[in-house]
């Protein structure tokens, strides 16, 4: 549970020229939340104040947030269909307030009304603009000044990147067989080319739950795990989320790949309006879905330990690595 001490909340509000009385609780604050959000009204427009908590003494975590906020602000300034952080009165993108063992960080963005895709995510009216949104992000990422890797933190390593993500989950993995498969996937990723046309700062989680459907467009939400990765990873994640919804989980085989193929065709139709990705990258879809399947297992491993049958089935899918679209 994230609890913001009243003096901290007052200080963060003051940095945005607000008072705690201006805020209405929106969501978050649970143990599984990445932060807590409040809404407020200014000049007739609704905004969101999001507050995150970091352990003091972890400067790389704050640097990661800074890099993500700068990237998302860049996307917003160049017309990407996203909700981006707004500069504060002093020009900065966030305010920070220390308290005991934590550093609380707050940033604001405009609140946009819309709904979730739900079951409509399979259909062309959603798939095409969804593809356009991701395609525009990737096109803009190619022009981002630091397109290949992030700054080096106090750890001596880049604070963001696919290797950092891979290593973090490798360190967390408790099953040696799954870890061995994760190692093999990492070796396959190492062999892929890193070129501006297919690699850059990506959303890294543009699944169906992270899009907002408005009357005029699809808006991408939640850049909290954005990182430097291959563009095809974002495309695979959209498929993975629908795969999960169709089968009931990543531990179950797909009865037919045809719905996924149809979705991918519609998604890429929209994507190509905004960005041209070498078609050979689509042959790597199965590799990146395998990557996400193992990543999801590691995230869920504590829960899976309480569900032996689900754990066994999910692990079997990892070790067998059945083709999804390559079949």
| Predicted confidence (pLDDT) per residue in 227-240, tens digit | 999 999 999 999 88
Picking from 23-27, 55-59, 130-134, which range would have the lowest pLDDT averaged per residue? Answer: 55-59
At what angle are helices 176-190 and 308-320 packed, to 10 degrees?
30
Please tell me the distance from the alpha carbon of residue 213 to that of residue 193, in angstroms, as a whole number. Answer: 34
Burial of 217 per CB tally in 10 Å (0-12, 13-18, 19+): middle
Which pLDDT score is estimated for 260? 83
**CA separation for the pair 19, 271 (Å, rounded):** 42
DSSP assignment string, 109-139: EE----B--GGGGGSHHHHHHHHHHHHHHHH
Tokens of 71: 């990237």
Q: What is the pLDDT of residue 155?
A: 65
Q: How confident is the model at residue 154 (pLDDT cuts 50, 70, 90)?
A: low
How confident is the model over 89-129, as pLDDT tens digits? 788 899 999 888 888 999 999 898 888 776 666 677 889 99
| Paired residues of 228 in beta bridges | 201
Tell me what the pLDDT averaged over the chain comes to.
Answer: 87
pLDDT tens by residue, 40-94: 999 999 999 999 888 877 778 888 888 899 999 999 999 999 988 888 878 889 9
pLDDT (0 to 100) of residue 240: 84
Q: What does the pLDDT average to over 320-324?
A: 81
The pLDDT assigned to 90 comes to: 82
From CA 238, how far away is CA 60, in angstroms rounded?
29
Q: What are phi and psi of 243, to 5 degrees?
A: -60, -45
Lowest-confidence region among 18-22, 84-88, 219-223? 84-88
Name which residue leads in pLDDT, 159 or 234.
234
Residue 135: per-residue pLDDT:
97
At CA 242, angle to CA 236 and CA 246, rounded to 5? 135
- Which of the listed ranges 12-26, 156-170, 254-268 does the model predict with the highest average pLDDT? 12-26
Structural domains in the chain, sorted by start: 8-110 (3.30.200.20), 118-320 (3.90.1200.10)
Res 53: pLDDT: 87
What share of the chain has pLDDT > 90, as a percent? 54
Q: What is the mean pLDDT of residues 149-156?
A: 67
In the DSSP assignment, the letter for residue 308 is H
Q: Alpha-carbon distance 206 to 203, whole Å?
A: 6
| pLDDT score, position 185 | 97
């Amino acid at each position: 549970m994230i609890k913001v001490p009243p003096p901290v909340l007052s200080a963060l509000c003051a940095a945005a020229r607000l008072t705690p009385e201006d805020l209405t609780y929106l969501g978050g604050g649970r143990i599984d939340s990445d932060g807590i959000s409040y809404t407020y009204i200014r000049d007739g427009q609704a905004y969101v104040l999001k507050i995150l908590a970091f352990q003091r003494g972890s400067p790389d975590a704050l640097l990661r947030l800074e890099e993500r906020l700068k990237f998302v602000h860049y996307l917003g300034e160049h017309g990407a269909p996203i909700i981006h952080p707004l500069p504060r009165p002093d020009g900065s993108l966030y305010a920070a307030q220390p308290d005991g063992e934590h550093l609380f960080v707050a940033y604001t963005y405009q609140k946009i009304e819309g709904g979730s895709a739900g079951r409509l995510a399979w259909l062309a009216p959603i798939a095409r603009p969804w593809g356009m949104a991701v395609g525009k992000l990737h096109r803009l990422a190619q022009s981002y000044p630091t397109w290949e890797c992030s700054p080096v933190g106090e750890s001596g390593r880049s604070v963001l990147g696919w290797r950092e993500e891979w290593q973090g989950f490798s360190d967390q993995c408790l099953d040696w067989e799954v870890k061995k498969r994760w190692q093999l996937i990492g070796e396959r990723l190492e062999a892929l080319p890193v070129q501006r046309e297919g690699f850059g700062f990506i959303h890294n989680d543009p699944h169906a739950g992270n899009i907002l459907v408005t009357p005029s467009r699809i808006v991408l939400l939640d850049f909290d795990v954005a990182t430097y990765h291959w563009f095809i990873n974002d495309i695979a994640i959209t498929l993975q989320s629908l795969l999960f919804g169709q089968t009931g989980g990543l531990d179950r085989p797909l009865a037919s790949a045809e719905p996924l193929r149809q979705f991918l065709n519609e998604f890429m139709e929209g994507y190509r309006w905004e960005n041209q990705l070498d078609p050979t990258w689509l042959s790597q879809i199965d590799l990146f879905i395998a990557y996400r399947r193992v990543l999801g297992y590691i995230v869920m491993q504590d829960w899976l330990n309480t569900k032996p049958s689900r754990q066994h089935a999910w692990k079997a899918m990892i070790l067998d690595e059945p083709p999804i679209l390559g079949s």
